[in-house]
Amino acid sequence: MDIIRVKGGHRLHGSVQVAGAKNSALKLMAATLLAPGATTLTNVPNISDVHVMGKVLKYMGASIDVIDEHTLLIDTSAVSMWEAPYELVAQMRASTAVMGPLLGRFGKAKIAMPGGCNLGARKIDMHILGLEALGVHFDTDHGYIYADAAEGLVGTDVSLEFASVGATENLIMAAVRAQGCTTIDNAAREPEIVDLACMLNKMGAKIEGAGTPVIKIEGVAELHPVEHQVVGDRIEAGTFVVAGALMAGAEGIEVTGFNPLHLDMVIKRFASMGIECERIAGGIHVRPVEHIKPIDIQTLPFPGFPTDMQPQAMLVSALADGNSIITENIFENRFMFASELVRMGADIHIEGHHAMIHGVRSLSGAQVVSPDLRGGAALVLAGLCAEGTTEVSAIHHIARGYERFVEKLVALGAQVAYVTVPDPNFD
């Protein structure tokens, strides 16, 4: 059983480069299904979620050549199956991103129902309602969703009840092959959606308005393979910004490989906590914060404060001089991180989707369990600034979305290591 062991109190220095965005790479990989032939993706993060998406595509008949650690050549010419099996969807809910492309290419998809996950129920009703409007008929049987557009996809106007990232992406990937025009109103505006639209347009799609609440898509008869670079990971960047703010030496650290505009709201809110970020070429320079001011943050769809930065922000507020409030509007069950941080000495009370955080002077190292991807990373950061040693278990969550997280922290001067410990259940 591997854990991450962190010795607190070591100052960070130097520079760290973030990988390509997980949330973009997964959808771009799914989108290669729309363009029979070999698409090259560069700047692909080497993380376990990408490996799962690779298995989903191979299961359907695609071949994937790993050109180098971050470059994949994905050939979808031989794809002859339109099924995402339970074994893989259960490992990664984002496998449902193949539904839109499969409908776009074959007019059919069979997808295991994702069920709940550790961030709550995470329904896909908006994906289904939107695709139904495009002419897809849905059935469910034995835990699978059967989607069929026997009479072809027909462009239409879809208004999303909530700016869902996944629903927007699935709709775009189906609508690019529909007959006529589709308009998605109240579309999600995340940079990863802009990245997806950008690659699809290179493939020959006609998408306008990605990055705004209204996306217009004119269906085309075919798409062709291209080469595309995955956008830098703004959430990984934000995670290292927090590491720097809490533990950098006097010179601060540099975080590069991403577009700081994608982290604009985070940088603004962090500035109001006293964290100084300065733009540099390809990233930002963050200085250590001396006096953390409390904050009132609520998570919202982009360009609001991202839910994927909520645990990291909670860690900073746990060390603030005063009382903070964090409101989680996107996911239920996203405060599990808080109870682990309390084990390290934080003072946090949860009421519904609000967390009331009373800042403490310091945290103390403890054994904690990674509750999910971002919460796990935030616990490692908590260990960096805690007194003594912190041991984070269930680190497979972190490997889902952070490439070489421990190695990058070590390169910055942190005392962090993977350690294999006996599993107490099997001794």
Which residues are identified as catalytic? 117
Q: Determine contact, residues 148/137, Cβ cutoff 8 Å.
A: yes
CB of 158 to ligand UD1, least distance (A): 12
Packing angle between helix 125-133 and helix 99-106, nearest 10 degrees? 20
One of 57, 98, 126, 348 touching ligand UD1 (CB under 6 A) = 126
Closer residue to ligand UD1 in complex, CB, 5/127: 127
CB of 268 to ligand UD1, least distance (A): 18
CB of 298 to ligand UD1, least distance (A): 13
* Segment lying near ligand UD1 (by CB under 6 A), choices 57-65, 302-310, 375-383, 419-427: 302-310
The CA–CA distances, whole Å, from 209 to 3, 130, 232, 262, 303 equal 44, 18, 21, 17, 15
User: What is the number of the residue whose Cβ is closest to ligand UD1?
Assistant: 166
The letter for the amino acid at 70 is H
One of 67, 77, 137, 162 touching ligand UD1 (CB under 6 A) = 162
* Segment lying near ligand UD1 (by CB under 6 A), choices 68-76, 115-123, 287-295, 411-419: 115-123
Closest residue by Cα to residue 384 from 315, 334, 337: 315
Closer residue to ligand UD1 in complex, CB, 69/125: 125
Closer residue to ligand UD1 in complex, CB, 162/418: 162
The CA–CA distances, whole Å, from 257 to 244, 260, 284 equal 16, 9, 9
CB of 161 to ligand UD1, least distance (A): 8
Closest residue by Cα to residue 42 from 241, 227, 172: 227
Q: Which residues contact 102 (CB under 8 A, 6 or more apart)?
A: 33, 60, 82, 108, 109, 147
Return the structure tokens found at 358.
């009373």
Return the structure tokens found at 81.
């199956």
Greatest Cα-to-Cα distance within the chain, rounded to the nearest angstrom: 64
Closer residue to ligand UD1 in complex, CB, 188/242: 188
Residue whose token pair is 């059967």: 146
Binding mask of the shown chain, residues 22 to 61, with x at each position contacting ligand UD1 by CB under 6 A: -x--x-----------------------------------
Binding mask of the shown chain, residues 83 to 102, with x at each position contacting ligand UD1 by CB under 6 A: -----------x--------
Q: Which residues contact 389 (CB under 8 A, 6 or more apart)?
A: 5, 6, 7, 8, 365, 383
* Segment lying near ligand UD1 (by CB under 6 A), choices 136-144, 159-167, 223-231, 257-265: 159-167
Packing angle between helix 191-202 and helix 22-31, nearest 10 degrees? 30
Phi and psi at residue 289, to the nearest 5°: -90, 135
Phi and psi at residue 53, to the nearest 5°: -60, -35
One of 331, 335, 402, 405 touching ligand UD1 (CB under 6 A) = 331
One of 57, 99, 167, 380 touching ligand UD1 (CB under 6 A) = 167
Closest residue by Cα to residue 331 from 71, 169, 99, 93: 93
Beta bridge partners of 39: 74
One of 236, 254, 308, 328 touching ligand UD1 (CB under 6 A) = 308
One of 10, 13, 122, 353 touching ligand UD1 (CB under 6 A) = 122
CB of 309 to ligand UD1, least distance (A): 10
One of 330, 380, 384, 406 touching ligand UD1 (CB under 6 A) = 330
Give the separation between CA 280 and CA 260, rounded to whole angstroms. 9
Binding footprint of ligand UD1, residue count (CB under 6 A): 21
Q: Determine contact, residues 31/199, Cβ cutoff 8 Å.
A: yes
* Segment lying near ligand UD1 (by CB under 6 A), choices 100-108, 116-124, 286-294, 419-427: 116-124
Contact residues: ligand UD1, CB under 6 A: 23, 26, 94, 121-127, 162, 164-167, 188, 306-308, 330-331
